[in-house]
Structure formats: C-alpha cells, structure tokens
Amino acid sequence: MSASRTGVGGDGGGDGVSSRSGRRKASHSQMKHIFKIVAILVAISAIWVALLETSTVPRSYTWLLPIYLVVALGCYGLFMVGFGLMFFPTCPQEAILLQQDIVEAKEFLAKKGVDVGSE
Amino acid sequence: MEAAAGGKRAYSIIVPTYNERLNVALIVYLIFKHLPDVNFEIIIVDDGSPDGTQDIVKQLQQVYGEDRVLLRARPRKLGLGEFRTPMKQKVTGADVVTGTRYVKNGGVHGWNLMRKLTSRGANVLAQTLLQPGASDLTGSFRLYKRDVLEDLISSCVSKGYVFQMEMIVRATRKGYHIEEVPITFVDRVFGISKLGGSEIVEYLEGLVYLLLTT
C-alpha cells in the first residue's frame, strides 16, 4: 500500500496519474444528476398520461394519482426526519472526556511556556 | 504505510483557524497525544486572526518543533470550518476517508432540538435528491490521498460551507473509493461559532448548484 498523503503544498504524488485520468474519462460520460431526476419525473408522467389515455383505471382515480405521489413523498420525508430525530446519535461521554483533555492540555502547555491562561 | 524518507510526512493535518488561540493549542496537544507513532505534520492555516492565534502557534512550534507544526498565515479571513475531536482513522484502500456524525458510535453533543431538526431535514433532502455517497456532507474531518485531493480541489469552485459538500459529491461522481468512520462532535467549548444565520440558505443554494453541475 502506498502512503496516503494529504496536503496542498509541497511536492510528490506522481503515482496514481494513470488511474486518475481513467476516472476523469468516466466522469465525463456521467449524466448530470438533475437529468436523472428529470428523467424519472418524465417516466412517471408518461405512465400517468398512458393510464389517462387508456382508461384502464377509472379516470377520476387516475387524476388523483399525482396528489397521492406528492403526499407519499411528503410522508416519506417526514418519516425520515422524525426517525432520524428519535435516534439522533449523541455523545455525552465524549463531552466529559473533552473537558478532562482540556484540563490536561492546559496543564501540560502552561508548563512548556505556551500562553493558554487567557480566553 | 511506507516510511516517509527525507523528512517527507505520511500525513498532513490541515487546521484552518480564525480567532482560535485556545482551540489551536488544544487540538495540537490532542493530536500529538493520540498519534504518537504516526509520521505527520500539522499545517495551521490562519486567516489573520487578531486575537494572537499565530503567537500561540509560534509557541507551540517551540514545544513540538517547527518541522511538525507549520504555520501558513493568510492575510485576511477567507472562510473556514470547525474542528473539534481528532479523527479516528481506519486503514483501508480508500481514496477518501470521511468522518460522519450520523451513524452508530458517532454523534453530537450540545445541540438543541432545533439544530437537530435542521440537520436531519437538510440530510434527508440531500440524500434523496443528490445521492452524495456519504452520510455527512458538511463534516469537516476528511482524509484524502494527495493526488485525489489535488484532483478534487482543481474541480471544485465553491467557497466556505458549500465547499465541503462539493468535495465529497465530486469524489463520489468521479468514482473514488470513499470510506466512512464515525466521529463525535462536541459543540465548541472556546470561542464562538463563525457560522451565521444564512447557513440554511447557503446549504440550499449549494444543493441546487450540485444538482445542476454534478
């Protein structure tokens, strides 16, 4: 495995050029995300128009389908937000550990002559 | 990890600061404490803090060495992120390792209900519309391979807050291997957060921009 490097300045990092250009080519052929969403919307509209035209289901039902779709999307969003809120991960023990770290750091750095006394 | 020869470091830890004199001392201390066997350097990018952050950094250089703690001073405020807990790092073949607050073993502390609600709403919106390939778009703890970072930086145009989103979304679209590690985020202890009330508007603008361009 090669060493992972991060950083903006400095030199090095010549390896990986070939793989990078390969990835660049792949990204050019990729569809912009908005077009994917538009494509999905167009497909749904096409199905809906087809249902309207062929009248396989009674028309009065078909007219309501887009409203159901919007309501369903809204429910999905609300459910996801609510679910996430209920199980929002928290870390109270880390806050305590951090306070201990701060005391420790201040002690150490003050001894070494770093001015950490004032806020 | 291969040993870095000739003083070249395996990892560069970039810490942007603006008026963070106590936080910068704390983060440098914690990084050195938790990574004793890692060949790294800390690059502190300071946006011309008037509170003496750079003086503290110079004092830290006396303690830890000028080759381990580097100061890159920028003349004025150009925008930054928040940094708190050290990133737990996983050794994989990943191009990008990104910290996430929204999984098991990760988490936040000190957020009220409103902030959690905003965060969840923004997250659901982005995951549904954008499929960004990462569960935490705006977390600032990321590890990049150098060539991947250079590639991504050269294709990102956003500044400030949206920059974090653009980097990870472009990484996903370019097909880079992204791994996630849980991070914990304790709300800032010292100083005040520099993120203002226009955060939500900026986030939505960023979302639309990324929908149209990636």
Domains of chain B: 1-80 (3.90.550.10), 82-214 (no CATH)
- Position A69 scores a pLDDT of 93
A107 interfaces chain B, CB cutoff of 8 Å = no
What DSSP assignment string belongs to B71-109? Answer: EEE-SS--------SPPP---SS-SEEEEESSSTT-EEE
B83 interfaces chain A, CB cutoff of 8 Å = no
User: What is the tens place of the pLDDT at every residue in B63-90?
Assistant: 999 999 999 887 764 443 333 333 333 4
For chain B, the C-alpha Rg in angstroms (whole number) is 17
- Position B92 scores a pLDDT of 57
- The ipTM, to two decimals, is 0.71
User: What is the tens place of the pLDDT at every residue in A10-40?
Assistant: 333 333 333 444 444 444 446 788 999 999 9
For residue B190, pLDDT beyond 80: no
| B185 membership: H or E segment, kind and range | strand B184-186
Chain A environment of B107 (Cβ under 8 Å): 88-91, 94
- Position A118 scores a pLDDT of 57
Chain B environment of A109 (Cβ under 8 Å): 25, 29, 60, 63
What average pLDDT does range B79-107 have in this prediction? 62
Partners of residue B40 on adjacent β-strands: B11
User: What is the tens place of the pLDDT at every residue in B136-172?
Assistant: 888 778 888 888 888 998 888 887 778 888 999 999 9
What DSSP assignment string belongs to B144-183? Answer: E-HHHHHHHHHH----THHHHHHHHHHHHHTT--EEEEE-
> Residue B39: which residues within 8 A CB-CB, separation 6 or more?
B1, B3, B4, B9, B10, B11
- Cα torsion B133, B27, B51, B196 to 10°: value is 30
Supply the pTM of this predicted model: 0.74
CA distances from B210 to B136, B164, B170 (A): 15, 12, 9
Q: Using CA coordinates, name the residue in chain A closest to B129.
A: A37
| B40 membership: H or E segment, kind and range | strand B40-46
Select the residue of A5, A81, A91 nearest B108 (Cβ to Cβ). A91
- Position A6 scores a pLDDT of 39
Chain B environment of A37 (Cβ under 8 Å): 129, 211
**Does A3 contact B106 at a Cβ distance shorter than 8 Å?**
no
Chains A & B: contacts with CB separation below 8 Å: 171
